[in-house]
Structure 1
Amino acid sequence: MKLPISTIILTYNEEKHIERCIRSAQQFSEAIFLVDSFSTDQTLAIAKSLGAEVYQNKWENNHAKQFNWGLENLPISTEWVFRLDADEYLTDELIAEIGQKLPVLARGISGVVFERKMVFLDKLITKGMLQMNMLRLFRYGQGFCEDRWMDEHIVLTQGKSIHFNDYFVDHNLNPLDWWIQKHNNYAIREAIDLLNLEYQLVVPKTAQAKQYELSTDALSKRKKKEKYAHMPLFWRSFIYFVYRYFFKLGFTQGKEGFLWHFLQGWWYRTLVDAKVYEVKKACGEDKEKIRQFIAENYQIKL
């Protein structure tokens, strides 16, 4: 089932995931493009052997910028574009749903929102999660990725979005140590995002995004983050873990469920708060000092 969809996959050393990802995309895509950040493993060889078109662009530590480069430079000729990460794939049910519904969508629908579910230590996490809905499919020329430190979303420049029922899966095959290092690196970016909500440190990078509305799901997520940002440091990560693990029944999924909710819901968010606390302790509420501290200690220029 080939639909008028070009799937864009951002890659850097994804040899563990890329075949699974491409084979999933081949089930619904007319064209598959890799925007690669000069991988040094077998990612490109595997992708080319499967028929994907490979383009390379220098990585500038910014997913939105890399994806938007692809929108501007790839030879896309399809009506629709799908954004898919290398460690993600679609369920058979979602592929079937796209095949049934996409050809008959009204012209006023420019984007499609799907739920993303996580697999952690080879177990699908179905309990304790707040639903993660993401706009990943949109009409070419009618959307772009907003440029943010964290939590970037596809923004539609016209039309409305619709929500499909089935889900896609984020299933990373790297070991736990990789996951911990990744989230340690994410923590300062998340800390900057929370500090920015409090002190308005960052001028929005994509001024164009101000002209357009985010999807309802993205706006809901932003409002929840703003509410979280105003809760007390450290207590908020503990309360979040308790809510997910006990009230949302995360404890029913065994050791994998405990480790997921502890590490992602408590440890990671406590680490973020520790970095927020570190910055505030060193700089107080002086915006310029905060910017300098982050630049000097984390090599991130705001």
Structure 2
Amino acid sequence: MEQPTIPASVPSLTVVVLTRDEEIHIARALASLDGLASRIVVVDSGSYDKTREIAAATGANVFERPWVNYADQFQWALDHTGINTEWTMRLDADEWLGKDLVASLRQALANSDGGVSAISLDRQHHFMGRWIRHGGRYPLRLLRLWRTGMGRIEQRWMDEHIVVDRGRIRHVPGTFVDQNENDLSFFTTKHDAYATREALDALIAKHALFDLPEDGALESTGQARQTRTIKNGWYNRLPTGLGPLLYFLYRYILQLGFLDGRPGLIYHVLQGFWYRFLVDAKRVELEQTIDGAETAAEKVDRLSKATGHDLAAFAASQTQLPR
């Protein structure tokens, strides 16, 4: 497919998209990059549908690689797909950019001085046909573009963010949407997997199972850092179930989540209470799994068998060795 002309004044940009069975989303995501991306890299982890064919037909460079987790796959894409453009961008397959944002990003890339190392965007979340504007869900400020070579992804099992080593982070407003078209069964299945990974992250940190690298300059406004500080500082220490209940009430009442209507009620209950409670429950379950294990290596082995995630292999690939 012929790509729209990008003015020579706009620095080159590679967009990285990770996929598996995303045929209902991938064409929309890649089409939204018209006039912005010099190159699109799609790393697929074994799709059974036509994701790879659709991506290739748009002119994207498609790679295939087995899945370990998001962080491992994305860092592999940064390191092994030959990215040599001036800028790099992260986009999920179920996300898309509005034409207004594309125009704003072209301008921002063209006139950002050398001290700007990254760009953040405000993401909208759409659920059951409605933009979820309340309950703390907008704006969600995310670092999504960075000068090639200055950014990396945190090596975590869940809630991984792009971090940059130096420089300023510039914010660019515009339409940036997370809009998954799958049904509620997909939503709950996906969040069940998320809950397992988040519980793993919590136990890895609690029991100091690996030597984790220090984070760089996380996010643009500190929004992600603040959320993580709250989780690690007091939320994860609350009695089982209390944190999810308090969080839901805060989000649905004090942050006006009730204004999002019936789709918002369903979303905030599932994502703001049910999901958080499931993480708590899985933490309890996994604590029982490693009860009695005397060494970090034994705990890692038990957690790997219980969850199906090869923690030791992932740690070794990141040069994080069990203590």
Q: TM-score, normalised by structure 1?
A: 0.90
Q: What is the deviation of 1:281?
A: 4.5
- CA contact under 8 A between 2:33 and 2:102: conserved in structure 1? no
Measure, in 1, the Cα distance between the counterparts of 2:192 and 2:250. Answer: 23
- Shift in Å, 1:20: 0.1
The one of 271, 279, 283 equivalent to 1:276 is 283
**Post-superposition CA distance 1:30-74 (Å, at most 9, x none):** 111211223221112211222222122222x21122112222222
Per the alignment, in what secondary structure is the counterpart of residue 257 of structure 1? helix
Task: Flag structure 2 segments of 5+ consecutive residues without an equivalent.
Answer: 312-323
- Residue aligned with 1:165, SS: coil
The separation in 2 between residues aligned to 1:90 and 1:12, in whole angstroms, is 20
Residue in structure 1 matched with residue 304 of structure 2 by the alignment: 295
- Structure-2 residue corresponding to 1:226: 232
* Partner of residue 109, structure 1: 116
CA distance in 2, matches of 1:75, 1:295: 32
Aligned amino acid, residue 276 of structure 2: R
Confirm whether residue 183 of structure 1 aligns to residue 187 of structure 2: no
Give the alignment partner of residue 203 of structure 1, picking from 205, 211, 215. 211
Mean alpha-carbon deviation: is it higher for 140-149 or for 49-58?
Answer: 49-58
1:260 counterpart residue number: 267
- Cα distance change of structure 1 residues 220 and 233 upon mapping to structure 2, 3 Å threshold: same
Q: 1:36 to 1:255 in 2, by over 3 A?
A: same
Matches within 5 A, 1:43-62: 43-59=51-67, 61-62=68-69
CA contact (8 A) 1:201 1:287 kept: no
CA contact (8 A) 2:70 2:157 kept: no
CA distance in 2 between partners of 1:24 and 1:190 (Å): 31
1:169 aligns with 2:177: yes
2:137 is equivalent to residue 143 of structure 1: no
CA contact (8 A) 1:109 1:161 kept: yes
Structure 1 equivalent of residue 320 of structure 2: none
Deviation, 1:234, is 0.4
- On the 8 A contact 1:111/1:162 being kept in 2, the answer is yes
Identity of matched residues, %: 37
> Could you say which residue in structure 2 is the equivalent of 1:89?
96
Structure 1 runs of 4+ off > 4 angstroms?
A: 281-290
Pairing 1:80–2:87 present: yes
SS for the counterpart of 1:25 is coil
2:43 aligns with: 35
User: What's the CA shift for 1:117?
Assistant: 1.8
Q: Which runs of 5+ in 1 are unaligned?
A: none
Work out whether residues 142 and 158 of structure 1, in 8 Å CA contact, stay in contact via their aligned partners in 2: yes
Residues in 2 aligned to 1:219 and 1:124: alpha-carbon distance in whole angstroms: 25
Does the 8 Å CA contact 2:134/2:257 hold for their aligned counterparts? yes
Q: Give the Cα separation in 1 of the matches to 2:243 and 2:174.
A: 31
- Counterpart residue identity of residue 299, structure 1: G
Stretch moving more, 231-240 or 157-166: 157-166
Q: Kindly state the Cα deviation for residue 122 of structure 1 after the two structures are TM-superposed.
A: 1.7
CA distance in 2, matches of 1:73, 1:279: 34
> Could you say which residue in structure 1 is the equivalent of 2:168?
160
**Two-structure CA RMSD over aligned residues (Å):** 2.1
- 1:36–1:292 distance in 2 versus 1, CA, 3 Å: closer
Contact 2:290 2:303 in 1 (8 A): no
Paired positions, count:
297
* SS of aligned partner of 1:276: helix
Equivalent-residue separation in structure 2 for 1:200 and 1:280 (angstroms)? 14
Structure 1 CA distance, aligned partners of 2:38 and 2:287? 50
Q: Secondary structure of the equivalent of 1:40?
A: coil
Partners of 2:199 and 2:282 within 8 A in 1:
yes
